Amino acid sequence: MPTYYVGVVRSYKVHIEAEDPEKAQELAAFFIGSDDASTDEERMQFNFKIQKIELTENNSFLFD
């Protein structure tokens, strides 16, 4: 069976409570995969809570 190299691009809209916009952006980028990867301890330490994650883009393409 042949092997293909496929790129995947996904974008998410993240609803996050945080101390300020810059902190929200930093924490969302660090803790988001396809799910919330933060622990209870990290949420307490950095004082944030991810409320909701919405998939907004899901595309794939073939590499040459």
What pLDDT, on a 0 to 100 scale, did the predictor assign at position 55? 87
What pLDDT, on a 0 to 100 scale, did the predictor assign at position 64? 85
Q: Where are the domains of the chain?
A: 6-59
Is-above-0.75 flag for pTM? no
Measured distance CA(45)–CA(39) in Å, rounded: 10
- Taking only the tens place, the pLDDT of each residue in 1-55 is 999 999 999 898 999 999 999 999 999 989 887 689 899 999 999 999 999 888 8
Handedness of CA 49, 55, 56, 58 (dihedral sign): positive
- The residue to which tokens 């902190």 are assigned: 23
